[in-house]
Structure formats: structure tokens, C-alpha cells
């Protein structure tokens, strides 16, 4: 159908996702392009409103009305070797991919599980949906999955309802649910944001361990650069619906080639660095706020908040410039960074 | 749990005691004298006075009240003044049409309201949704007696599909009696479906945007299962509440419908008891209806327990 390099499992090309309200269009995702290598973790980083969650929901085709994919391709290499364009797959074919090949975990473990069914039922449902197994076998697999995500006393906890569990436990249940059919790709949309820091670290550990055991690829959506450093191999930085910088995690933390990424890093607390000198280092916030997606500035969308801006920045939307090996920046001044 | 049920039972007794008292007072402050009504316009004052003594109506009101309450405690609703039989027997004989009318009406109302309300919420903003919302408003404002008369005119008189009124003769089969109930049940069901449709639609809209619905979709299941299993169950508590309330209202609403369709049910028994000032029958019937109200509410509260594991009493 379409070719995709052998080691790439997902390739998003020029994705456009729009929300149309009564003839008026919000371009939440505008020309997003990135790819994910098999067995690796790519992180999409950005503030709220940057389009990172909309991108992940577009891949899963779970956008709620009036959101719709208006253009671009989402190429995915299925288990049978076919390369599918998820943006154009029929609803029926998409249902066979969802859960079975691509699974998703969400930000709010408190509300993402159905309060009226036991966690065992909810995980078991995923198993029986995609595999020809009976109830007893499904139950056995559920216990195995709960063990896998390190829930103690799995054989009894599966009869619990979500409200009987803590936030961290529920997120483990969500992960068990997502892994039920051993997906090739796991999309994790801010899975640790709602959790306490210690629990957050445990969940990241768990995801890393599961990735090496099961060999799945992970697309990790977050606004937290600390989390990115922990888990990602490659990073995509998004701002106002666009990719502004893209690199491997080491490259990105070593040399940022876009002022937004620089600003994001400067406004991220880092206890080691901040207390290293005799004086406490101050965080440097990015001035201003994220522009409304319906009232973007002309030219570079980051220009109004950018300390490096020059008049040329307003001349037009900059393309993604190559800024090094496998490193891209949407800044006309990337060379001076 | 046991404590909760005990509290509820005490609550029921208190409510019924209050209802009994209020009914007793209201019946006696309405003008009219059963003895005078019973004996007709030609009766002499002496005849009336004589009958009042036999009926116990000459006693002071507080004494009558004590007799009434004492009877209630023994499970005795008293003796009908006109029917010459215990009130409980009279109610029992009239219970069948009212019972089946209520059951059929609520079943018809739910059979209409659940699918229509769910689809309307699912297709929010569509032409279907707008038509449903408008029709539901319209049918909620149609009086059931008027709709009943239209049905009689069309289906019974013009088409002859159903009897115009009544509940069949004493020798009629059960099936024939139920045949008499079709029109009144459809009338009541239609009118009452409107409110339920609005509740189903509103509570489905509430849950369809919830995160766990998205989770269900992310598992790769079909829309029907997402909506009917994961969303509907969460929308069920307000829906059950309104179905319970509607059922309770149907019992008292039967008074009008039974009159229009000439059904010999509890409703028409109450109407004739009121016109004849048959105090014990009015009291007894209203008490029984109040008790059913309370029982239905209690049953709905128990259903919450079945639906939602987070509810505990």
C-alpha cells in the first residue's frame, strides 16, 4: 500500500486536525510530522493547548465531534506487515486496530475506568473482545496482567471496583487493560500527570520495564520535561498545533535549537541545578501565554513571546529546518542557538 | 444495611400515619353528609339523624378519629357506607384493572422512552434529536383524557379495533379484559413517555462525554456496546428515579383515565366514593395509594444498590 522504513512503526505525515463549529474552524493540529521507531519511546512535549493530546486522539481516531482529521496521513505498520493509513481506515477496521494493536492510557485514572464494573470485568472485556477465549481463561489472563503491573494480591483485587483503589493502582489497572492484547504501540496521554511524584516514578519504571519485556513502542504525551528525560528516546516539541523542534532526547537536552524548547527547559524546576550555587537559581518563565489557536500571530507562531525574535520572523510561517543529524527546528535563527 | 431498612420502615409508618390523619381531616372538612346523600332528597331529618347514629357519624370527630386509627392498627380500613362491604374487599375487587393498567402503561412508556432518549442523546443536535425534543414537549402538554378521547374516536369508533369503554362483562376471559386495557395503556404510556425521554436524553448526554466512555472506545468495541453497556448503566440512576416517580404518578393518574375509558378500577372507585361522601372508602383508597408510593420509592432505592457499587446504606 505505502512504504514505510522497516524499523518505523508509526509515521505521522502532515497531520491536520480541525474542530469545526458552525463554519468556523479551529486548526488544533497543523501539519504535524514525526515518526516512531519500533520498540522505542517518542515523547510529544508541549503546554496545554499545544495540540499534543489532539494528535494522540487523532492517531486512535477517538476525536469527539466536532473534531476531525482534515488532512495528512497516519501510517501504521500492522502486525500482519501491512502498512495502514489510520486516517483513512474504515470505522470497522479501526476497531480491530484499537485495543488489539494500538492501546491507550489516559491522564485521569480516577475517571478513565468505568465506576460500575469491577476492574477484572473491564480488563477481561478487552481480552474477550479481541481473543476467542472463555470467561475462565480471560480471568486467568487478567490475574496475570495485574501481576505484570505489580498489583499485590491480584487474584482478589480483580473483583474490586475502581473506587476501592488508589490513583496509582488505578493507573496500573489502566496499563494492565492497555496491555491485555499485547499491543505493538502504546499511546500514553499524560499518564503520570495526575499522580503523586513518588507514584509517578513507579509508573514510569513500570512502563520502562514493560517496554523492554514486551518490546512495544510507546508514544508518550507529556508537558513535563523531567518525565521526557526519564523515558523518551526521541522528542517532539509542539507549540500551537505545530512541531517546533524534534531530536533525540540526548541531543535535545544538550543543544536546543528552538527558543521555545530553551524557554521550556529554563522554566522546568531541577532541584540539583537550582540549589547548586551559593544562591538559589531562579526559574525563567516564558513571557506571555500560548496564543489562541483561532488568533495566531502572522509568521512564526512563537514570535510574540520570543527573546530572539527579529523582524524577519513575522515574514511567514517558517518550515522545519534540519539543525543537525536527526535534529529539526522550526526557527529561522536555529543556527545561532 | 439492616439498620437502613429498619429506619426506612419506621419512616414508612410515620408517613402513613401523617397521610391517614391528613386524609381523615380533609374528608371531614369537605361539605356534604353521607347520610343525607344516601337517603336522597325526600328523607326526613329524623331518618337522617337515625342513619348518622348507625354509621357512627354522630360521634365527636376526635372519637371517630380514634376509631379510625384503631382500625388501621388492626389492618382494618373500615366498612364502606354504600357498598355494604369492607373497604379492603372493595379495593381488592377493583385492583386488577388499575394494576394492569399501571404496569402496561409504564412498560409502554419505557419501551418508547429508552430507545428514543438514548438515540436522541447519541445523535445530539441532529434532525432526529430536534424532532424528538419537540414531540416530547408537545406530548407532555397533551392532557391524557383528551388523547384518550381521540383514541376512542379513531381506533374504537372508526376502526373498531378496540372496545370503546369498560372492562368486559363478568364472564369475559382474561385476554378480553386485557384487550380492553390496550387503549388506556397506550394513552397513558404515550403521555408519560415524554418526561422519561427527556430524563433519558439528559442523563445520557451527561455520561456520553465521560472519560470511561472514551476508554471503552479505545478498547475497540462497537458503538452499540459502548453506549448500551458503558454509558447507559452510568445514566441509569436518574432514569430509574424518574421511572419510579412516573409509576407512582400513574397510580393516581389512573383516576382520570379510568373515568374516560369507563374502567372499574381503583380510580373510578375513588371518584364514586367522593361523590357519595363514602368516607371510609376515600380514606382507605388514598392510604393504599400513599403506601404504594412509599413502597415504589423504597424499591427504587434498593435498585440503586444493584446498579451502583458505590452506593451503600
Instruction: Look up the ipTM and state it.
Output: 0.88
CATH number of the domain residue B286 falls in: 1.10.3720.10
Is A115–B221 a contact, with Cβ atoms under 8 angstroms apart? no
Q: B103 and B231 share a domain?
A: yes
Residue A114 lies in a domain: no
| Contact status, residue B242 vs residue B195, Cβ threshold 8 Å | yes
Pick the residue from chain A with its C-alpha nearest to B217: A62
B237: distance to nearest CA of chain A, Å? 11
Pick the residue from chain B with its C-alpha nearest to A104: B218
Average pLDDT for A240-261: 93
B221: distance to nearest CA of chain A, Å? 6
Q: B244 and B296 share a domain?
A: yes
Pick the residue from chain A with its C-alpha nearest to B306: A116
HEC string of chain B equals CHHHHHHHHHHHHHHHHHHHHHHHHHHHHCCCCHHHHHHCCCCCHHHHHHHHHHHCCCCCHHHHHHHHHHHHHCCCCCECCCCCCEHHHHHHHHHHHHHHHHHHHHHHHHHHHHHHHHHHHHCCCCHHHHHHHHHHHHHHCCCHHHHHHHHHHHHHHHCCCCCCCCCCCCCCCHHHHHHHHHHHHHHHHHHHHHHHHHHHHHHHHHHHCCHHHHHHHHCCCCHHHHHHHHHHHHHHHHHHHHHHHHHHHHHHHHHHHHHHHCCCCHHHHHHHHHHCCCHHHHHHHHHHHHHHHHHHHHHHHHHHHHHCCCCCC
User: Does residue B85 belong to the interface with chain A, where contact is any CB pair within 8 Å?
Assistant: no
- Facing A60 at nearest CB: one of B218, B234, B308: B218
- Give the tens place of pLDDT for each residue, B255-312: 888 888 888 888 888 888 888 878 788 888 888 888 888 888 888 888 888 888 888 7
Is A114–B212 a contact, with Cβ atoms under 8 angstroms apart? yes
Pick the residue from chain A with its C-alpha nearest to B311: A116
Boundary residue ending a domain (B73, B104, B131): B73
Is B210–A106 a contact, with Cβ atoms under 8 angstroms apart? no
Residue B44 lies in a domain: yes
Number of domains observed in the structure of chain B: 2
CA distances from A208 to A150, A155, A199, A205, A251 (A): 13, 24, 14, 5, 20
Pick the residue from chain B with its C-alpha nearest to A161: B309
Q: B128 and B213 share a domain?
A: yes
Which of these, A95, A57, A68, A100, lies nearest to A188 by C-alpha position?
Answer: A57
Boundary residue ending a domain (B39, B73, B107): B73
Residue A33 lies in a domain: yes
Query: What pLDDT sits at residue B157?
Result: 77
Element (H, E) at A178: helix A167-179
Residue B312 lies in a domain: no
Is A62–B216 a contact, with Cβ atoms under 8 angstroms apart? no
Could you give the dihedral angle defined by the CA atoms of residues A99, A104, A105 and A107, in that order, rounded to the nearest 10 degrees?
-140
Domain encompassing residue A192 = 8-101+181-336
Q: B114 and B172 share a domain?
A: yes
Q: B142 and B285 share a domain?
A: yes
Region of poorest pLDDT, from A180-189, A316-325, B28-37: B28-37
Is B212–A130 a contact, with Cβ atoms under 8 angstroms apart? no
Number of domains observed in the structure of chain A: 1
- Give the tens place of pLDDT for each residue, A74-84: 999 998 889 99
Q: B126 and B50 share a domain?
A: no
- Give the tens place of pLDDT for each residue, A287-330: 888 888 888 888 999 999 998 999 999 988 999 999 888 899 99
Q: Match 495502514 to its residue by C-alpha cell.
A: A84
CATH number of the domain residue A59 falls in: 3.40.50.300
| Contact status, residue A283 vs residue A266, Cβ threshold 8 Å | yes
Q: Is the pTM of this model over 0.90?
A: no
Q: B69 and B116 share a domain?
A: no
Q: B255 and B203 share a domain?
A: yes
Q: B14 and B99 share a domain?
A: no
Domain encompassing residue B236 = 93-307
Is the peptide bond prior to B142 cis by the omega test (within 30 degrees of 0)? no
C-alpha to C-alpha distance for B299 and A11, rounded to whole angstroms? 56
Boundary residue ending a domain (B10, B39, B73): B73
Is A116–B216 a contact, with Cβ atoms under 8 angstroms apart? no
Residue B79 lies in a domain: no
Residue A116 lies in a domain: no
The neighbouring-strand residues paired with A69 are A17
Residue B271 lies in a domain: yes
A15: distance to nearest CA of chain B, Å? 20
Is A62–B218 a contact, with Cβ atoms under 8 angstroms apart? yes
- Give the tens place of pLDDT for each residue, B170-212: 777 778 888 888 888 888 898 889 999 999 999 999 999 999 9
C-alpha Rg value of chain B to the nearest Å: 24
C-alpha to C-alpha distance for A76 and A238, rounded to whole angstroms? 21
User: Which residues lie below 8 Å from residue A92, measured CB to CB, with a gap of 6+?
Assistant: none
Numbered residues of chain A with Cβ closer than 8 Å to any chain B Cβ: 60, 62, 64, 94-100, 103-104, 106, 108, 111-117, 125-126, 129-130, 161, 163, 174, 177
Residue B292 lies in a domain: yes
Most confident of A149-158, B71-80, B147-156: A149-158
- Facing A99 at nearest CB: one of B218, B230, B310: B218
B215: distance to nearest CA of chain A, Å? 6
C-alpha to C-alpha distance for B40 and B63, rounded to whole angstroms? 27
Residue B85 lies in a domain: no
Amino acid at each position: 500500500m505505502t512504504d514505510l522504513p522497516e524499523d518505523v512503526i508509526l509515521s505521522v505525515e502532515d497531520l491536520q486536525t480541525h474542530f469545526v463549529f458552525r463554519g468556523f474552524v479551529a486548526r488544533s493540529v497543523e501539519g504535524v510530522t514525526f515518526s516512531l521507531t519500533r520498540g522505542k519511546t517518542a515523547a510529544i512535549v508541549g503546554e496545554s493547548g499545544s495540540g499534543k493530546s489532539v494528535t494522540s486522539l487523532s492517531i486512535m481516531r477517538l476525536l469527539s465531534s466536532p473534531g476531525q482529521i482534515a488532512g495528512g496521513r497516519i501510517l501504521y505498520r500492522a502486525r500482519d506487515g501491512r502498512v495502514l493509513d489510520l486516517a483513512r481506515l474504515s470505522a470497522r477496521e479501526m476497531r480491530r486496530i484499537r485495543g488489539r494493536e494500538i492501546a491507550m492510557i489516559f491522564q485521569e485514572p480516577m475517571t478513565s475506568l468505568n465506576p460500575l464494573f469491577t476492574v477484572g470485568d473491564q480488563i477481561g472485556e478487552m481480552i474477550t473482545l479481541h481473543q476467542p477465549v472463555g470467561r475462565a481463561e480471560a480471568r486467568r489472563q487478567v490475574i496475570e496482567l495485574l501481576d505484570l503491573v505489580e498489583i499485590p494480591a491480584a487474584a482478589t483485587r480483580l473483583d474490586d471496583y475502581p473506587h476501592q483503589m488508589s490513583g496509582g493502582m488505578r493507573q496500573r489497572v489502566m496499563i494492565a487493560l492497555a496491555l491485555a492484547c499485547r499491543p505493538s504501540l502504546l499511546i500514553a496521554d499524560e499518564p503520570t500527570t495526575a499522580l503523586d511524584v513518588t507514584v509517578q516514578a513507579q509508573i514510569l519504571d513500570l512502563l520502562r520495564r514493560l517496554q523492554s519485556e514486551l518490546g512495544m513502542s510507546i508514544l508518550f504525551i507529556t508537558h513535563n520535561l523531567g518525565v521526557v528525560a526519564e523515558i523518551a528516546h526521541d522528542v517532539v516539541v509542539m507549540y500551537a498545533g505545530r512541531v517546533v523542534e524534534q531530536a533525540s532526547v540526548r541531543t535535545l537536552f544538550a543543544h536546543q535549537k528552538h527558543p521555545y524548547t530553551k524557554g521550556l527547559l529554563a522554566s522546568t524546576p531541577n532541584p540539583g541545578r537550582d540549589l547548586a550555587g551559593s544562591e538559589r537559581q531562579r526559574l525563567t518563565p516564558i513571557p506571555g501565554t500560548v496564543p489562541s489557536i483561532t488568533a495566531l500571530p502572522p509568521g512564526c507562531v512563537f514570535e510574540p513571546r520570543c527573546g530572539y525574535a527579529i523582524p524577519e520572523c513575522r515574514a511567514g510561517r517558517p518550515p522545519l529546518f534540519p539543525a543537525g543529524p536527526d535534529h529539526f527546528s522550526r526557527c529561522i535563527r536555529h543556527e545561532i542557538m | 444495611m439492616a439498620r437502613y431498612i429498619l429506619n426506612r420502615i419506621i419512616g414508612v409508618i410515620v408517613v402513613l400515619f401523617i397521610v391517614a390523619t391528613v386524609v381523615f381531616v380533609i374528608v371531614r372538612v369537605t361539605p356534604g353528609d353521607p347520610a343525607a346523600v344516601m337517603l336522597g332528597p325526600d328523607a326526613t331529618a329524623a331518618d337522617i339523624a337515625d342513619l348518622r347514629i348507625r354509621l357512627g357519624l354522630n360521634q365527636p370527630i376526635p372519637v371517630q378519629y380514634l376509631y379510625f386509627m384503631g382500625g388501621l392498627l388492626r389492618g382494618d380500613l373500615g366498612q364502606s357506607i354504600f357498598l355494604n362491604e369492607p373497604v379492603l374487599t372493595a379495593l381488592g375487587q377493583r385492583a386488577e384493572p388499575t394494576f394492569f393498567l399501571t404496569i402496561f402503561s409504564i412498560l409502554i412508556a419505557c419501551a418508547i422512552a429508552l430507545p428514543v432518549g438514548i438515540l436522541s442523546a447519541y445523535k445530539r443536535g441532529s434532525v432526529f434529536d430536534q424532532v424528538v425534543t419537540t414531540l416530547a414537549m408537545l406530548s407532555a402538554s397533551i392532557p391524557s383524557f383528551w388523547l384518550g378521547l381521540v383514541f376512542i374516536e379513531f381506533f374504537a369508533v372508526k376502526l373498531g379495533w378496540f372496545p370503546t369503554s369498560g372492562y368486559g362483562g363478568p364472564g369475559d376471559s382474561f385476554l378480553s379484559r386485557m384487550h380492553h386495557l390496550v387503549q388506556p395503556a397506550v394513552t397513558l404510556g404515550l403521555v408519560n413517555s415524554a418526561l422519561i425521554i427527556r430524563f433519558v436524553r439528559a442523563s445520557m448526554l451527561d455520561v456520553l462525554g465521560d472519560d470511561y466512555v472514551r476508554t471503552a472506545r479505545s478498547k475497540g468495541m462497537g458503538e452499540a456496546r459502548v453506549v448500551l453497556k458503558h454509558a447507559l448503566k452510568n445514566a441509569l440512576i436518574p432514569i430509574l428515579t424518574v421511572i419510579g416517580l412516573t409509576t407512582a404518578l400513574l397510580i393516581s393518574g389512573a383516576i382520570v383515565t379510568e373515568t374516560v375509558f369507563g374502567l372499574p378500577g381503583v380510580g373510578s372507585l375513588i371518584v364514586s366514593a367522593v361523590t357519595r361522601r363514602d368516607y371510609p372508602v376515600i380514606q382507605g383508597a388514598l392510604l393504599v395509594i400513599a403506601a404504594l408510593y412509599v413502597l415504589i420509592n423504597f424499591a427504587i432505592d434498593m435498585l440503586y444498590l444493584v446498579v451502583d457499587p458505590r452506593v451503600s446504606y
